[in-house]
Amino acid sequence: MRTKFSGILTLLLAFVVQLTFAQTKTISGNVTDDSGLPLPGVNVVKKGTSDGTQTDFDGIYSIKADKGSVLVFSYVGFKAKEVTVGDRNSINVQLFADAAELEEVVVEAFRTSTKATSNISSVTITAQTVEARPNASFVQTLQGQVAGLNITTSTGQPGGNSTINLRGISSINGNTEPLFIIDGAPVDEDNFRSLNPNDIESLSVLKDAGATAIYGNRGANGVIIIKTKRGGFNSKLKISYTGITSFSELQEADYSLNNSQQQLQLERDFGSGLGTTLTDAEIAAFGTTDWADVFFDTGITQNHTLSLTSGGKNVSTFTSFGYYDQEGILQQSGLKRFNFRNNVSGKSDNDKFNYGTNFSINYSENEEPNSIGSGAINRNYVLGAFQSVPYLSPADYTNGADLVAQGNFFRNTPLLLLDRLNTFARTENEVKIIASANASYKITKDITASATISGDFTDQQRFRAEGPESFNAILFAQNGNTTPGFQDQRTTRTFAFNSLTSINYHKTFAEKHTVDVSAFTEYFKAHLINFGFQQNGLNPRTFSFGDGSGFVPDNSANDFFVDTVDSTLSNAGLFSYFGQADYDYDQKYGLSATVRRDASYRFSESNRWGTFYSVSGRWNISAENFMQDSIFDLLKLRASYGTAGNQRIVDAVGQFAYFSAPDLTRDLFATGAGYAGQGALSLAQIGNNTLKWETVVSSNIGLDFELFNRRLRGSFDVYQRNTEDLFQNSPISAINSATSLRANVGELENRGFDFNLAYDVIKNGNDGFNLTVNVVGNYNKQEVIDLPTEDGIVFNGGNTVLREGGPINEYYVYRYVGVNPANGNLLFLDANGDVTENPNPNTDRVFTGKNISPDYQGSFGLQADYKGFFATAQFNYTIGVDRFDFDYSGFIDPNAIGQFRHSTDLQRAWTPDNRITDIPSLTATNLALDANSDRFIRSSDYLRLRFASLGYSVPSKFLKNTGFSTVKAFVNGENLFTITEWQGFDAESDNSTANRYPTPRVISIGFEIGF
C-alpha cells in the first residue's frame, strides 16, 4: 500500500514539475489608485511564497509567475487585491482605499481604539514631527502642535526644563504638569534631557476626563503617552542613519543701549561712576565692548542616530544608538549624551501570548551654570552679558585677587564673571534607565490577562567647585584663610517602580453589540537616596576640578575647613484598583465609564483613599443612514464628564517630585543645630491632619469631522475644568510659629475651547504638487472661584494677588501715567483715578486683570511637497501674556548709573529744558515708588516662525538597485523670527525675572539614509 501510494506521488510530482517549467512567464503591468494615479511601492507577492517585488515610481511592476498562481497586491491604506495569473502577460490593477485601514489608531489609556470608536479628546503626534528637530528635549518640539497644550521654555540651557500645562493651570500650588508615560512606564516629567527624541514613534496627548480619569491619582493635568519605535514581524533588516548639525545663536533683544561714549557722558552728567573723572578726549578714546558677544557665542550641535529594525516570525526588534553633543550659546553650558535603546516584541505561534520589552539606557553630561536669573553680579553670566558697562573690556581682567583689591564690584561685573568662567565649574552627569516589560495572554477568545512592569532609574552626580584663587573664594574667605574655595559633590539616585495587572473581556454579540470590560490594579513605589558633601578649603597647588587632592583638612585653630555633609532617604508609594467598561453599538453609538480607587502615601494619616470616575459617550452621526451621501466622511459628537486627582501637594521639580511633602499631615520635631551651633531640639513642622486629594472635575464636548474625502479634517472641543479642594497655603496666625499651612481650600476654574484643522489645499499624489495647511488653537480663561480668606483676596507679596473672580496671580499695582512736566517726577493714579505723585501702596493699588498666562495660544503652518522636495513651516502665536520687563527697568534706572549699562532712552529724561517726555528726571524724588506700579508691565504676545524646514527626499525610483531605501537631506530652522512688542530677549519666557538665559535661534542641516 505504502509503496503504491509513493509511486503515484512521485509520478504526480514529476508531472507538476514538468508543468511548472513549461508555464513560468514574466507578468508586468501597472498599479493605480481609485483616481487612476500610479501607486509606487505597492508590494506584489506570489501568494504563499516570499517571492515578490514592488512597483516603481510610475506604479509599474514586473514579476515572473506561473499560470494559475495568485498575485497579491498590497499597499498600506488600501484593500489588498488578489489576481490569478491566466494567459495574459500583462495585469493592470486598481487598488481602492480601505475604509477600515483609514481609521487612525487612537491611543487611549490602557487600550487602543479607532477614530470611529473612541469617545475621548486626544491628539496624536507622529515621529515625523519630532524627528530631525535640534531640541535636546522633545517637549520643546511639541510646542504649538497640540491644541490646549501650552509649553513654554524659559531657559536656553540645552535640555532645560519646560513648563507644560494642558488646558490652563489647574493648581495654584500643587503639580500642574501632565503625567508622562513612556512605553507603560510613568516617568519624571521634568527631565527628558537624557532621552533621544528620534526613538519616539508617537506621542498622544489625552485631554478630557473620559481619557484621563482612569489615571486617577496622576491624571488631573492630562496624560501624555509616548510610544517608542518597534520592529514589525516578518520584516527584513532595515538600517537607518540620521545626522544633523545645528548652529545656535542668541535671539537679540530690541533695546537701544549706550555705547561707551554715551555711557561715560551720562555718568559724568549725572555725577556718578568712572565718567566723572574723565575729560572729553579721554571719553572719546574708549572702545565699546558688547558683553553679550563675550558671554554668548554660536553653539554647534552634533546629533547622530543609528537604528536597526528587523523581525522574524515570532520576534521583532528595534535597536538604536544615539550620540548628541550640544554647545549652549551661553558660556559653560552644554549637553552631551549617549543613548542606547532596544525594544523587543514577541509572540507565540498561536498568537495567544504576546510580550514586549523596552529598554533604554542613557548617559548625559551636562554643564549648567547656576544663579541664572538671579541678581548675583558675581555669579550670573547672563547679567554680565546684558547689563555690563561697555567701556570695560575683557583685557581689563587679570585675576581674582586684583578684582578683590579693586572694589567697584558693580561696575566690574563683567570682570567678576570672566573670573568665574576661569575658576568655577559645575557639571551634572546622569545615568537614566527606562525599562518596561509587558505580557498578555488570551485565556479564551474573549478574555485576556495582561501585566506591565516598568522602572525609571536616574542617578545624577553633580560636581561644583569654586577655585581657591577665584574672586569669589578670596572675597568671601574668612580673615586669615589662605586656602579658600570649595568643592561639592552630590549624588541623587531615584528609582520608581510601577506594576499594572489587568484582565480584559471583549466580545461582540449579534454582530452589532460590542462590549469591552477591564479590571486593573496598579502599584507604584519609588525610592530616593541623596548624599552630598561640601569640602571647604582647596589648596591651589594640587586642586583639580572634581578631584580631592587639594582638599585642606580641618585644623585646631579655626573652623574654616569643616566640611558639611548631608544625606536623605525617602520613599513614596501609590496603590490603585480600577475598572473600565465600554459599549459600542454598530460603530454608531458608544458609551464608556471608568471608576478608580486610589491611595496615596501622602495622605496615609488623613484621607488616604480617593475615588475618581468618568462617563463618556459618542454619536457617530456620519454612520447614520441619512448621512450616506453627505460630504462628511466622519462626523462624530463626543461628550465626557469626570474627575481626576492630584496628590502632588507641592510643585517640586525633577527627581524630588515624587518625594516632596511626604507627611505634611504630621506635627514633627527635628534634632539639629540650634543656638550658637549647639545641638537642639526644635519644632520642624505643624501638620494638617485633614489633607486630602485635590480634584479636577472636567466636562468636555467635542466634534470630530472629516470632509470632502478627508481633505478637510479637524476637531473642536469645548471644556470646563474646575479644580476643587485646591492645595493652598491656608494662612494661619503667626502665633503658631508658621504663617501658613498646606490645606485643601478653594476652587479654580479653567474653561475654553480648542481646535485643530487641516486642509489639503492641493492634492496631486506623489507625482505632483501637494499643499496642506493646518491651524491649532486654544482659548483658555482662568478664574479663581474660591479662596481661603473671607474677603476672597490673597496677597502673594510683591505685585501679584489671588482674587476671587480674577485670574491666577493677577498683577496688583498702581497705575503709572507719565512724567510731571513741572518737576520731572513720576505720576501715578490713586485708587480713585486721580493723578498723584505719592500713591500709597496699601490703598492705591488696583486689580489689573492681567497676568502671565496666555488667553489664546497655538500655531498655524503648512506642509508642501513636490516630487521629493518638501517644505514645512510652523508659526506659533500667544496672546494675552503680560510680563514685567525688568531688564528694561534696569536699563533706565538712574540709581545704577556708574554701575551698569543704560538705554539711550535716558537721553530723553526730563530736564527743565525738556519737560514733555516719557522718561522721568534722573533725580526724580519718587522714583522708588515705581516698584509697585505697572510702569514696566509689557505685553509679551508674539507671533514666531517656530520651525521651518526645506528638504529633498530622493524618490524611490531613483534608488532602485542602489541598495538604499531612503536618502533625504534637509535644512531647518527654529525661532527664525518673532513679531512682538516685547523688547526683551525672549518673548516666550513665562517669567518676569531679568537676566535669564534666552532660548536660541537654531539653524540645522541634516541627512537621513536608510538601507
Partner 1 sequence: MKKINKIFLSFCIVAAALTSCQDAIEIDQPGRLGAENAFRNVSDLELGILGTYNLLDNTAQIGFTSVITDEVGIGVENGGQRVGLFSQIVNVTDGDAQSIWVTNYAAINSANRIIEAAQTITPDASEQEVYDSVLGQAYAIRAYAHFQLLSYFSTDLTDDNALGVIMVDFVPEVSQTLPRNTNGEVFQLITSDLDRAATLVSASATNVTFITRNFVTALRARMAAYRGQYTQADTYASQVLANVPIATRNQFSSVFADNSNAGIVFKLERTVNDSYDNQATAGGGRAGTLYSFVTAPVGGGNFLEMGRSLFNALSTDDIRFDRYVDDSSVIDPNYATSATYLNSDLLAIGIYEGSEGVNLMNDIKIFRASEMLLIRAEALANSGNINGASNSTAALIKQLRDARYATAQPLPTYANETEAFGDILDERRLELAFQGHRYLDIKRLGQRGNRSVVRDPRDCETNGACTLESTSHLFTMPIPQVELNANSVIRAQQNPGY
- Our finding on whether 31 is near partner 1 (CB under 8 A) is no
> Binding partner 1 by CB under 8 A: which of 591, 686, 864, 1009?
686
Among 14, 105, 683, 971, which residue sits at the site for partner 1 (rule: CB under 8 A)? 683
577 binds partner 1 (CB under 8 A): yes
Task: Name the residue nearer to partner 1 (CB basis): 25 or 507.
Answer: 507
**Cα diameter, the chain:** 127
- Locate 1005 and state its grid cell: 542641516
Q: Strand locations in 11-129, DSSP E?
A: 24-32, 43-46, 52-54, 60-66, 70-74, 81-84, 93-94, 105-107, 112-114, 122-126
Among 554, 566, 624, 667, binds partner 1 (CB under 8 A): 667
Contact (Cβ atoms closer than 8 angstroms) between residue 999 and residue 903: no
Of 72, 308, 401, 519, the residue at the interface with partner 1 (CB under 8 A) is 519
Which residue type occupies 448? T
Closer residue to partner 1, CB minimum distance, 841 or 955: 841
Give the integer Cα–Cα distance in Å for 332 and 417: 12
Please name every residue paired with 28 in a beta bridge, in sequence order, or none if there are none.
62, 90
Question: Could you tell me the smallest distance in angstroms from the CB atom of residue 679 to partner 1?
Answer: 6
Contacts of partner 1 in 919-948 (CB under 8 A): 923, 925-929, 931-932
# residues contacting partner 1 (CB under 8 A): 104
551/566 Cα distance (integer angstroms):
18
- Indicate which single residue of 315, 421, 503, 775 sits in contact with partner 1 (rule: CB under 8 A): 503
Q: Which stretch binds partner 1 (CB under 8 A): 365-373, 638-646, 849-857, 888-896?
A: 888-896
Can you tell me which of 80, 451, 621, 1009 binds partner 1, judged by CB under 8 A?
451
Kindly tell me which residue out of 682, 709, 911, 962 binds partner 1, with binding defined by CB under 8 A: 682
Using CB under 8 A, which residues numbered 603 to 642 contact partner 1?
A: 604, 608
Among 85-93, 896-904, 944-952, 958-966, which window interacts with partner 1 (CB under 8 A)?
896-904
575-578: long-range contacts at Cβ-Cβ below 8 A with a sequence spacing of 24 or more? 575/521, 575/522, 575/523, 575/524, 575/599, 576/216, 576/217, 576/520, 576/521, 576/522, 577/519, 577/520, 577/521, 577/522, 578/214, 578/216, 578/519, 578/520, 578/521, 578/522
- Grid coordinates belonging to 282: 579721554
Give how far Cα 326 sits from Cα of 224, 683, 854, 990, Å.
26, 47, 31, 24
3-state secondary structure 172-222: CCCCCCCEEEECCEEECCCCCCCCCHHHEEEEEEECCHHHHHHHHHHCCCC
Residue 720 is placed in which grid cell? 470646563
* Nearest-angstrom CA–CA distance, 35 and 950: 29
Task: Answer yes or no whether residue 237 interacts with partner 1 by CB under 8 A.
Answer: no
The count of C-alpha atoms lying within 13 angstroms of the C-alpha of 754, restricted to the half-sphere facing its C-beta, is 27
407, 833, 912, 963: which one contacts partner 1 (CB under 8 A)?
A: 407
Tell whether residue 993 is a contact of partner 1 (CB under 8 A).
Answer: no
- Smallest Cα–Cα separation from 25: which of 73, 74, 63, 61? 63
669 binds partner 1 (CB under 8 A): yes
136-171 residues labelled b (16+ CB within 10 A) or e (exposed): bbbbbbbbbbbbbbbbbbbbbbbbbbbbbbbbbbbb
User: 762 with 773: CB under 8 angstroms?
Assistant: no
CA distances 877 to 7, 338, 873, 880, 943, Å, are: 81, 34, 13, 10, 4
- In this structure, the number of other CB atoms found within 10 A of the CB of residue 961 comes to 6
Out of 126, 478, 542, 962, name the contact with partner 1 by CB under 8 A. 478
Instruction: Decide if residue 660 touches partner 1 (CB under 8 A).
Output: no
Site for partner 1 in 431-450 (CB under 8 A): 443-444, 447, 449
Q: What are phi and psi of 889, to 5 degrees?
A: -60, -35
Contact residue for partner 1 among 237, 300, 680, 835 (CB under 8 A): 680
CA distances from 991 to 207, 373, 379, 504 (A): 25, 10, 20, 46
Minimum distance of partner 1 from residue 524's CB (angstroms): 6
Among the listed residues 114, 256, 739, 962, the single contact to partner 1 using CB under 8 A: 739
Q: CB of residue 925 vs partner 1: minimum separation in angstroms?
A: 3
The distance of closest approach from Cβ of residue 675 to partner 1 in the complex, given in angstroms and rounded to an integer, is 4
Helix (H) or strand (E) holding 282: helix 280-284
Q: Does 529 bind partner 1 (CB under 8 A)?
A: no
Of 32, 179, 157, 30, nearest in space to 94 by CA: 32
| DSSP state at residue 1000 | P
Of residues 148 and 898, the one with the C-beta less far from partner 1: 898
Is residue 501 close enough to count as binding partner 1 by CB under 8 A? yes
Rounded CA-CA distance 1007/560 in Å is 56
Beta-bridged to residue 175, according to DSSP, are none
Would you say 305 or 688 has its CB closer to partner 1? 688
Q: Which is nearer to partner 1, 581 or 969 (CB)?
A: 581
- What binding mask, one character per residue, do residues 374-393 give for partner 1 by CB under 8 A, x or -? -x-x----------------
Nearer to partner 1, 489 or 925 (CB): 925
Minimum distance, C-beta of residue 448 to partner 1, in the bound complex (Å): 9
Find the shortest distance in angstroms from Cβ 394 to partner 1: 22
601 belongs to the binding site for partner 1 (CB under 8 A): yes
- 410 contributes a contact to partner 1 by CB under 8 A: yes
Gap between the Cα atoms of 293 and 287, Å rounded = 14
CA 671-675-680 angle, to 5 degrees, is: 20
Interatomic CA distance for residues 624 and 644, integer angstroms: 34
Distance from C-alpha of 798 to C-alpha of 740, rounded to nearest angstrom: 17
CA geometry: angle 223, 228, 231, nearest 5 deg: 145
Which range touches partner 1 (CB under 8 A), out of 1-9, 18-26, 319-327, 672-680? 672-680
- In the bound state with partner 1, the residue whose beta carbon lies nearer, of 27 and 214, is 214
Binding part of the chain for partner 1, among 197-205, 287-295, 401-409, 624-632 by CB under 8 A, reads 401-409
Buried b (16+ CB within 10 A) or exposed e, 843-869: ebbeebebbbbbbebbbbbbbbbbebe
Q: Is 670 in the site for partner 1 (CB under 8 A)?
A: yes
Measured from the CB of residue 659, what is the shortest distance to partner 1 in angstroms? 9
Give the interface segment with partner 1, choosing from 269-277, 318-326, 625-633, 948-956 (CB under 8 A). 269-277
φ/ψ of 162, rounded to 5, equals: -110, 155
Hey, which residues between 555 and 574 contact partner 1 (CB under 8 A)?
A: 558-560, 562, 564, 569-574
- Contact letters for partner 1, residues 112-141 (x by CB under 8 A): ------------------------------
Least distance from C-beta 589 to partner 1, angstroms? Answer: 30
Interaction of residue 517 with partner 1, rule CB under 8 A: no
In whole angstroms, the minimum distance from the beta carbon of 266 to partner 1 comes to 13
- Which of 41, 893, 907, 969 binds partner 1 (CB under 8 A)? It is 893
Q: Name the minimum Å distance from CB 612 to partner 1.
A: 16
Task: Give the nearer residue to partner 1 in terms of CB position, either 680 or 762.
Answer: 680
> Binding partner 1 by CB under 8 A: which of 6, 895, 911, 962?
895
Residue 371 binds partner 1, judged by CB under 8 A:
no
* Residues of this chain, 789-828, that bind partner 1 according to CB under 8 A: 789-790, 794-795, 797-798
Return the residue of 553, 677, 833, 912 that touches partner 1, per CB under 8 A.
Answer: 677
Q: How far is the CB of 248 from partner 1 (least distance, A)?
A: 31
Cell digits of residue 738: 508658621
